[in-house]
Amino acid sequence: MKIKYKHVCQECGYESAKWLGKCPSCNSWSSFVEEAITPKPKGLGKQAKVGGLQEPVKLKDIGSEKEDRTLTKIKELDRVLGGGLVNGSLVLVGGDPGIGKSTLLLQICQTIGEQDKSVLYISGEESIGQIKMRADRLGVNTDNLHLFCETDMQIIQDLINKTKPDLVIIDSIQTVYSADITSAPGSVSQVREATHAFMNLGKGLGICIVLVGHVTKEGSLAGPRVLEHMVDTVLYFEGERHASFRILRAVKNRFGSTNEIGVFEMKEKGLEEVANPSQLMLAGRPMDVSGSVVACSMEGTRPMLIEVQALVSFTNFPTPRRTATGIDYNRVVILMAVLEKRAGMLLGDYDSYVNLAGGIKMNEPALDLAVIAAIASSFRDRPIDPYTIVFGEVGLTGEVRAVNMAEKRVLEAAKLGFKRCILPEANLKGLKPVKGIKTQGVSNISEVLESIMN
């Protein structure tokens, strides 16, 4: 039988009958790889009709099923997952190399194993000896953890069907291949086929399967976009590789919220939970220095206090530099334009640098007012009271707009000893007085600058 071939884009999965230099779907260059077309068995469509069509069921006639979850005993992870791992679910964990994905998964193996549940750790990148060395360093010594090094999909399926563990970890999905597909491991076809097989396996046996996924240089998960659509939960590990803090964020979760985050700190013994990120983020904060102000950001239901730093310095070059770390660069440029237009601060001859201390990344509008205050403080070289917290969204006309969960932000600030809170005036309505902290409402940036500079 003559073998037919197709060309598949390795970035997005677009298929073409011939090779193309540029993918018409994702505009990637030289991304097409030739793959053999696997013929479907004849008569498959007829066999599917033997059992007859299923009748649709009314919604009210369907009994509600309770989610069967397994707690990982790692509170920050359980928070992100919405209350633990759901049995029969497929979880995808992505992140940069060296960020701590395998470290966290080994720590999960320890906590799950201590609950007398069996864990099968399948690695396609490391040997058993290498995993053992890392497990010894992390203190992982449970008897319920079983290691297996294999990349053949059929062998892995047979092993899972035979052992029926409570939790399966695949490190990583890009190394698993099926002999029925001619393309190389990590290609679009291989990743799609392997993910589909694990999805059927996990839901059929009622076990949770965790997949580790590689990321591209842009930070997105490598492989076809359908990979993220097929799984139940997608977790991203964020943070600088050489910094100590790590943030675990759910970008998709069929069994919980996608707004929650988990904060970890990388230490010699592995990842440690950060129960109070605000206190840790503000440790070592300078006092009575211009260009420094504390803001409060909401990540899901958790308020986090963050130090916003700004440095404005005169430049002799015709084009001043604008740099933003941890916050959207374009947002900072807009806020500087608002300062120039609405507050009369001529920043055209000054370099401006804005940074969120601690290596954390935030993208919430409530940080706008703090960025405005920090830039103005550095420009005028006037320190802001270190016991003052600022938050609010700033519009293009210089108005300060309301933000959500203002009361939680004020309570978090009062808990950490702050004496004054500058917030949008619209948020003062209905805000209950908080003991130990004075709230001051502002309606535009002129009021903010007048308040913090005096």
Full DSSP string of 69-83: EE--S-HHHHHHHTS
The burial of 381, by beta-carbon neighbours within 10 Å (0-12 exposed, 13-18 middle, 19 or more buried), is given as exposed
- Asked whether the predicted pLDDT for residue 48 surpasses 90, the reply is no
290-346 pLDDT, tens digit each = 999 999 998 877 899 999 999 999 998 989 999 999 999 999 999 999 999 999 999
Residue matched to tokens 């600030």: 413
The pTM assigned to this predicted structure is 0.77
201-226 pLDDT, tens digit each = 999 999 999 999 887 666 666 666 67
Rounded Cα gap, residues 4 and 39, in angstroms: 9
H-helix or E-strand spanning residue 133: helix 128-138
238-257 pLDDT, tens digit each = 876 666 788 898 989 999 88
Window from 94-108, 144-158, 183-197, 350-364 with minimum mean pLDDT: 183-197
- The pLDDT-based confidence of 410 (bands split at 50, 70, 90) is very high
Select from 447, 443, 440, 434 the least CA-distant residue to 422. Answer: 440
Residue matched to tokens 């940069």: 96
- Asked whether the predicted pLDDT for residue 61 surpasses 90, the reply is no
Rounded Cα gap, residues 209 and 89, in angstroms: 7
- Asked whether the predicted pLDDT for residue 43 surpasses 70, the reply is no
Q: Quick one: pLDDT at residue 217?
A: 63
